[in-house]
A and B are shown apart, each in its own frame.
Chain A
Amino acid sequence: MDLYRNLTIRQKQIVWAYAFLALPILFYSVIRFYPTGNAILISFQDWNLLGARTWTGLDNYVKLLGDPVFWQVFRNTFVYLLLGTPISLVISFIIAYHLDKTRFMHGFLRMLYFLPFMTSAVAMAWVWRWFYQPVPIGLFNNALASIGIPQIAFLNSTTNALPSVLAPAVWAGLGFQIIIFMAGLRAIPRSYYEAAKIDGVGWWTVLWEITIPLLKPTIVFIVVFSSIGFLRIFDHVFNMTTNNPGGPLNSTKPLVLMIYETAFDSFDMGYAAAQTVVLFLVLLVVSLIQLRILRDR
């Protein structure tokens, strides 16, 4: 005990800080960093989960580069990202901007928008799947039929399926983004708007030159978060296309679903790990690029 007593206050603080940090450090090493390192290791090996691991060098990556399904899936993943992020950003901003000005039933409306975020993705996916069914069952096609518009094959067409799967995913994330945007909007001092009013500039100028520039930190946060979300999309796709996951013809299959199938249907752990490493690198690069572009110069 003498040893501890003779430490300076600063050294004592450090001892305590590390004492409290020990648990999270242990947790992160065992649950996060060790598997991450292991995945990278496995990506250079051949392993079926039960047998021995054999070293195969870059074979998994070579196979990946030559796999047409991988390139299809890679493209799908980026379509999810490049459609999902801007669409959800614009929609959530528009809703937050107007909700911020609405006093009538403000709390109730905000709750309605936030509700999908709390709902189970599985339940949501199945409800939307029912919406998309052909005529006597599906809600959307029934509505179209009643006004005499031909049916749309939402989930059974290679061109329509991906946007149809994306729609509920965007909708599910809106609530969270709206809340974040509203917090950002509230943080802008009112006198900025009053000064603009006295200077007599139009609402468009106010929006583009005051509101949006001042919301930049909020926008960066939402873009990075929703990008990561769309790059990792899985449960919506899996549940809306259960009979043929990622179908039709792999047209909705994202990278995470491919990893899942390679690992737990084909038990090709090495190949799945190689795909995971690629996903990890994509996430890393996309996030770094966004931070670089959106950060203050």
Chain B
Amino acid sequence: MADLIIRDLVKTYDKTEVLHGISLDVKDGEFVVFVGPSGCGKSTTLRLIAGLEDTTSGEIEIGGRVVNNLEPKDRDIAMVFQNYAIYPHMTVRKNIGFGLRSSNKSKAEKEKRIEEVAALLDMTPLLNRKPSQLSGGQRQRVAIGRAMVRDPAVFLFDEPLSNLDAQLRTQMRLEIKKLHQRVGSTIVFVTHDQVEAMTMADRIVIMKDGHIQQVGTPQEVYHKPANTFVARFIGAPSMNMLAGQVKDGAVVLAGGNAVPVPVAVPDGKKVLVGVRPEDLHPEGETSLLEGTVSLAEPLGHETLLYVETPSGEVISKADGRTPPGVGARVALHALKENLHLFDAETEQAIT
């Protein structure tokens, strides 16, 4: 158990800088998820923490110790890989035991530890099987077992669920979260799936192009996105962005509607008004904009409406039973407190 501190981490490959000075504090026992589109530097960050790549500059500190120049094995970490990296020619027992090869425990102690971990993961009956005789989820657990057996200070997960089918992914997501509650170790988890990030994380780190965009709890990044990228990235379907200009303490949208804004913004400033589809309904009191329904996607409990408006196409959520039909003229409503305001130039949130 230990905290993990990253200071001004920079990584360059030849001349290309892929990480531009990342700083982050992960507290002891915290579950932190790195999320972002591919190529954002999240996996690179993880590999730097693991010691599989050399840092160009900056510092990585695990449990109060700067580990920049330590070999991976001396950093007190364990890693679970996307393709599991469990050895096909070894039994589950040998695979889990492989993590103990370099430790100087006695053979009996090692055996005991393997049994403990197997019991914790419900794998005891599978210990003598080969990976080819296991299902995808079981292989995933072997990989987690091999990481756990060493009792590391920090667990690193590199997109471990992306090779599983949707149902299994949901199940493993839960198992990993439960495991974290039981074992209580520090976890850094990398994923490109924002649902995984939202459901598992204590805190989410959203990355783009080698920069951290926002660090916060799932509630914070959902309700108070720091910029338009985070606003669009978190939540599905994405947040609608409506361009407008401030006039007399209200935002005038392309359609001519004026939306009162809670914060003071100088007149004439170009802004983006963000509103999530789940906050935008075809019924209510304060009309935000009007348009024609061009497409409806029924999802059972609700219906997604694609509405053509003067501000472009927006997505709105309607009731599942009696939604407006395609071609219907609708007025869309949203509560004032559910609107997000962004600077149109810097794309940063205005608060």
Contacts and interface: CB of A to CB of B under 8 A. Distances in A.
A200 B75 CA distance: 10
A205 B101 contact: yes
Nearest to B74: A200
Contacts of A67: none
A214 B88 contact: yes
B97 to A, nearest CB: 10
Contacts of B102: 199-202
A223 to B, nearest CB: 18
Given A200-B102, A201-B98, A205-B101, A194 B85 contact: yes
Nearest to A196: B98
Nearest to A194: B52
Contact of A192 (B52, B73, B85): B85
B77 interface: yes
A199 B73 contact: yes
Interface string A173-198: 00000000000000001011011111
Contacts of A192: 85, 87
Overall SS of chain B's interface: loop
B91 to A, nearest CB: 13
B85 A191 contact: yes
A194 to B, nearest CB: 5
A67 B80 CA distance: 65
A213 B101 CA distance: 17
Contacts of B89: 213-214, 216
Given A189-B85, A191-B85, A214-B88, A198 B101 contact: no
Nearest to B86: A195
A197 B85 contact: no
Contacts of B82: 191
Contacts of A153: none
A63 B82 CA distance: 66
Contacts of B83: 189, 191
Given A191-B82, A194-B52, A194-B81, A199 B87 contact: no
A199 B81 contact: no
A197 B51 CA distance: 9
Contacts of B90: 209
A24 B77 CA distance: 59
Contacts of B136: none
Contact of B99 (A194, A199, A216): A199
23 contacts: A189-B85, A191-B83, A192-B85, A195-B79, A195-B146, A196-B98, A197-B72, A198-B50, A198-B77, A198-B78, A199-B73, A199-B101, A200-B71, A200-B72, A200-B73, A200-B101, A201-B98, A201-B102, A202-B102, A214-B87, A214-B88, A214-B89, A216-B89
